[in-house]
Amino acid sequence: MSSKIILDFEKPIVELEKKIEEMKLMSNDLDISSEIVFLEKKVNDLKLQVYKQLTRWQRVQIARHPERPLTLDYIHNCFDSFIELHGDRKFKDDPAIIGGFAELDGSPVMIVGHQKGRDTKSNLYRNFGMSNPEGYRKANRLFAMAEKFNRPVITFLDTPGAFPGIEAEERGQAEAIARNLMQMSSLKVPIVIVIIGEGASGGAIGIGVGDRVLMFENSWYSVISPESCSSILWRSWDFKEQAAEALQLTAVDLKKQGIIDEIIEEPIGGAHKDPDFMFKIVKSTLIKEIKQLQKLSQDKLIKNRREKFYQMGVWNE
């Protein structure tokens, strides 16, 4: 799939590809096939060179790519019979976090995930995937229901952060997130977390405590976005590249730090280059993970989950 949106570091690749296309059109008149073969090899080498050595900031850019598959794309392509369930039963429905019933390979599961928009209109509706307290409270309600009916939980993380607004504060953004952290850490059913795009801070971990935390190769997860980190620590918006490096926020980084369990590899260039491939991988991975977790007793499941988070942290003693 060729993208309409080109990231700055992808320009040399796209230019070379365009040149090859032009040459192919001319090749009816001239014999330049050997030259085309040469350039095709060159473009492949260039792709490997660029995409295999992405900087952390470049991965952040891919994680935010406007064509990147979103939570609903995974829901519709990896699951069957999705029924969306709305509302927190307290205040309202928050379109920035969605959830509901679905079947994974014939078995019932509960899905919860951040949902971004695709264009201006849908992004305004989804608040750019920035949830209000109602989103976390809806998740809380659905997690409790999953526990009540003994169904595994799958969450998809993709948020630039919990919404920092007046109403969000008035209605207890912090309390809503805190409540979920405690609930998820002791929930009696398996929880698998998949970080598909952006995992920004408390807004992400607010639906991110689970038995298995899987992370896409080109997604990021940290305490703060590189831009905000730059603005606070460097007192300028211009140090986002350095901030991304300093935060060590990629899947490989977090695997090293013991924060995530598995990296899900993406096609060269990112998930949007071959969504069907991603749907297949995600589906088969989830089936495998949930099968493994369902072998554990309830006590063991919760004990392992807690123990995993208790181990997190590095200090001198």
Partner 1 sequence: MAWFLRTKDNITEKTQREMPDGLWTKCPTCSDIIYKRQLEENLFSCPKCNFHFRIGSEEFIDIIFDQGTFTETNNNLISSDTLNFVDTKPYKDRIIDAHKKTNLGDAITTGHGLVEGHKLSFGCMNFNFIGGSMGSVVGEKIFRAAKYSLEHKAPLLIITTSGGARMQEAALSLMQMAKTSAILGELAEASIAYITLLTDPTTGGVTASYGMLGDVILAEPGALIGFAGPRVIEQTIRRKLPAGFQRSEFLLEKGFVDTIVPRKDLKKTLVQMINWFGK
**Residue 2 or 311 with smaller CB distance to partner 1:** 311
DSSP SS3 for 195: strand
**Residue 18 or 188 with smaller CB distance to partner 1:** 188
Beta carbon of residue 115, minimum distance to partner 1 (angstroms, whole number): 20
Closest by Cα among 75, 69, 129, 83 to 273: 69
**Bridge partners of residue 220, in order along the sequence:** 198, 250
**Bridge partners of residue 111, in order along the sequence:** 100, 154
Q: Distance (Å, rounded) from C-alpha 310 to C-alpha 139?
A: 23
Distances (CA, A) of 263 to 114, 202, 245, 254: 19, 21, 19, 9
**Phi and psi of 99, rounded to 5°?**
-170, 170
Beta carbon of residue 243, minimum distance to partner 1 (angstroms, whole number): 8
Q: Dihedral angle at the C-alpha atoms of 7, 57, 67, 125, nearest 10 degrees?
A: -120
Beta carbon of residue 111, minimum distance to partner 1 (angstroms, whole number): 20
**Residue 193 or 293 with smaller CB distance to partner 1:** 193
Q: Distance (Å, rounded) from C-alpha 20 to C-alpha 40?
A: 7
**Residue 111 or 184 with smaller CB distance to partner 1:** 184
Beta carbon of residue 271, minimum distance to partner 1 (angstroms, whole number): 21
Beta carbon of residue 313, minimum distance to partner 1 (angstroms, whole number): 3
**Residue 121 or 235 with smaller CB distance to partner 1:** 235
Q: Distance (Å, rounded) from C-alpha 219 to C-alpha 193?
A: 13
Beta carbon of residue 83, minimum distance to partner 1 (angstroms, whole number): 29
**Residue 3 or 248 with smaller CB distance to partner 1:** 248
Q: Which residues of this protein are in contact with partner 1, per CB under 8 A? A: 162-166, 168-175, 177-179, 181-183, 185-186, 201-202, 205-206, 208-209, 221-224, 228-229, 232-235, 239, 242-243, 246-249, 253-254, 257, 259, 305-306, 309-310, 312-317
